[in-house]
Chains A and B, each alone.
Chain A
């Protein structure tokens, strides 16, 4: 019986594997959180905040990383949940008040993690099938998750430190490897035949699960290939070869990670463009070779943006100057190569030509330390009016762009004029500009 239970226990469902996958997942969560908070404060800066404008590809990098790490969480989180799944059926379900809190925190952790990566992914498809606002909930859940992650690490610290090093485990073979398996078996024994064997649906489910070999990890393996030669094929009498099953499990997770990242990251990471077969955006696809986030039709600006009397107004303390497109074209033009990098994770390097924003600011004599408010022709939308700190306003690469990739700016890219600045999210690169005003403190 003991041997049978040993064979039934899945070799990847052990603390060492939980630590191995858990720390990768934790790292991915931290990366998502860090890059997410950076993106959040770029969009909603606190008054004292200033941001680096170099390297110009900074936001392309951080937000591309945010999405890549988020996609990585799919295989990693599913693997982690696979490893710890039997713990859902611990018996007794609740041992103490603290244990209840711990289990509640884990339930919230699992639910919030799944929701966070799911809405994050589907947001990149611009599909919003949920009954709540995406941006606010995604940001709040980011804090909830990073808090729960630290809490989880605190709760599990003894296990994490003990199983952190594989070498320590190998060195103390009996202590860790064997003990872990013995523990697994003992636990299974308690679970299956202990006095508190759960009854009803749960009990049957547990029995079913325990009697079912793990999906990614059959207990018969290469060392048993010589046994399979005997033709019995039942597998129940064979000893599990944990190392092969573990390697198989890790290889599966690794290949899944490589696949989900490799086949989507080309939307931001140019070297992978050729194998971008699942990314929601494709480099070079869109008007003038640049993808479009919000179309002129969605923004309802087709009429106002093509109206003959369009003027760009610059304002500072009652001083106002308006420029027609022809007047802007007559000013000194600057050509810059900058990426447009979307919060949704795609990015596209492009050549922009137009008037330096600092030149326009000087035309109305704006304070060099002033922040600016950028107002679009859009009638509604979260980003019809945004603010830009002086570090971007005075950057020589920041333009009111009139041309894109050698052509007059397409309507979909913000004709008659749009902002382009280094290291800013695409939603802040205001399209269909109407008014730019210095904010007086």
Chain B
């Protein structure tokens, strides 16, 4: 049995048994259709892309997994850890708001940074990437920070009020 649901081996045993047969049929059909789609995709890949270019595709697929699993995900954990340490004296909800703000800002950064790089590479077409993406990204982070701060202040004030009623020990 698995927490996340990435391994099914054994999970089936926890399912109510009434629909077992229907479930098996449905899964078989889905797995067969899915495999057919996958194989067709691989056929298209091999059919339309020159053999010499295929190692490049494999390299990118592998690099994507490594980048996510070995760089991005640990980085997220690391940030979580740091933020948690930094935020020990505030309420959990405020930590949550700060984390949310960082996540939103980071995802936007992931999307916009390639645009900034591309803009610096190809200035041949003035209608392509016409905006000041660096400035806009900075303003976005600023807006996110402002919203998160205001939100946190509101939450802090609310929790303070709530805490002062039963006890006045909260500082």
Residues A153 and B129 in contact, CB atoms below 8 Å apart: no
What chain A residues lie within 8 Å of B21 (beta carbons)? none
Option from B12, B62, B69 in Cβ contact (under 8 Å) with A88: B69
Residues B4 and A155 in contact, CB atoms below 8 Å apart: no
Known interface pairs A141-B41, A215-B103, A298-B124; A90-B49 also in contact (CB < 8 Å): no
Query: Whole-angstrom distance between the alpha carbons of A405 and B140 in the complex?
Result: 34
Residues A216 and B99 in contact, CB atoms below 8 Å apart: yes
What chain A residues lie within 8 Å of B108 (beta carbons)? 256, 259-260, 263, 278
**Does A386 lie at the interface of the complex (its beta carbon under 8 Å from any beta carbon of B)?**
no
Query: Whole-angstrom distance between the alpha carbons of A154 and B8 in the complex?
Result: 10
Q: How far apart are B153's CB and chain A's nearest CB, in angstroms? A: 15
What chain A residues lie within 8 Å of B39 (beta carbons)? 147
Q: Is the interface of A mostly helix, strand, loop or mixed?
A: helix
Residues A278 and B104 in contact, CB atoms below 8 Å apart: no
Option from B26, B35, B110, B126 in Cβ contact (under 8 Å) with A286: B126
Residues B38 and A151 in contact, CB atoms below 8 Å apart: yes
Query: Whole-angstrom distance between the alpha carbons of A122 and B113 in the complex?
Result: 10
Query: Whole-angstrom distance between the alpha carbons of A184 and B117 in the complex?
Result: 42
Q: How far apart are A374's CB and chain B's nearest CB, in angstroms? A: 22
Residues B140 and A187 in contact, CB atoms below 8 Å apart: no
Known interface pairs A99-B9, A121-B114, A158-B8; A218-B127 also in contact (CB < 8 Å): no
Residue of A nearest to B114 (CB): A122
Option from A84, A150, A218, A297 in Cβ contact (under 8 Å) with B5: A84
Query: Whole-angstrom distance between the alpha carbons of A130 and B114 in the complex?
Result: 13
Query: Whole-angstrom distance between the alpha carbons of A225 and B164 in the complex?
Result: 11
Residues B8 and A155 in contact, CB atoms below 8 Å apart: yes
Name which of A49-57, A245-253, A364-372, A417-425 contacts chain B.
A245-253
Residue of B nearest to A228 (CB): B91
What chain A residues lie within 8 Å of B150 (beta carbons)? none
Query: Whole-angstrom distance between the alpha carbons of A233 and B65 in the complex?
Result: 37
Residues A212 and B81 in contact, CB atoms below 8 Å apart: yes
What chain B residues lie within 8 Å of A203 (beta carbons)? none
Residues A229 and B170 in contact, CB atoms below 8 Å apart: yes
Residues A132 and B57 in contact, CB atoms below 8 Å apart: yes
Residues A281 and B61 in contact, CB atoms below 8 Å apart: no
What mask results when residues 140 to 156 of chain B are scored 1 for a CB within 8 Å of chain A, else 0? Answer: 10000000000000000
Residues A82 and B73 in contact, CB atoms below 8 Å apart: yes
Q: How far apart are B110's CB and chain A's nearest CB, in angstroms? A: 7
Q: How far apart are A161's CB and chain B's nearest CB, in angstroms? A: 7
Residues B38 and A222 in contact, CB atoms below 8 Å apart: no
For residues 110 through 136 of chain B, which have their beta carbon under 8 Å from a beta carbon of chain A?
110-112, 114-115, 117-119, 121-122, 124-131, 133, 136
Residue of A nearest to B78 (CB): A212
Residues B127 and A147 in contact, CB atoms below 8 Å apart: no
Q: For A226, A231, A290, which residue has the most chain B Cβ atoms within 10 angstroms?
A: A226
A interface, CB within 8 angstroms of B: 9, 13-15, 18-19, 71, 74-75, 78, 81-88, 90, 95-96, 98-99, 102, 105-108, 110-112, 114-115, 118-119, 121-122, 125-127, 130-133, 136-137, 139-159, 161-163, 180, 183-184, 187, 205, 208-209, 212-222, 224-226, 228-231, 233-235, 241, 244-245, 248, 251-252, 255-256, 259-260, 263-264, 276-282, 285-287, 290-292, 295, 297-298
Apart from A212-B84, A228-B89: 16 A-B pairs, beta carbons within 8 A: A150-B30, A156-B5, A157-B23, A163-B5, A214-B80, A216-B80, A224-B91, A225-B92, A226-B162, A244-B93, A260-B107, A263-B140, A277-B140, A278-B131, A280-B115, A285-B130
B interface, CB within 8 angstroms of A: 1-9, 11-12, 14-15, 19, 23, 26-31, 33-42, 44-45, 48-49, 53-54, 56-57, 59-62, 64-65, 67-69, 72-74, 76-77, 79-81, 83-84, 87-93, 95-97, 99-100, 103-104, 107-108, 110-112, 114-115, 117-119, 121-122, 124-131, 133, 136-137, 139-140, 159, 162-163, 166-167, 169-171
What are 10 A-B contacts with C-beta separation under 8 Å? A149-B34, A150-B33, A154-B30, A183-B3, A208-B77, A218-B96, A225-B91, A226-B166, A282-B127, A285-B127
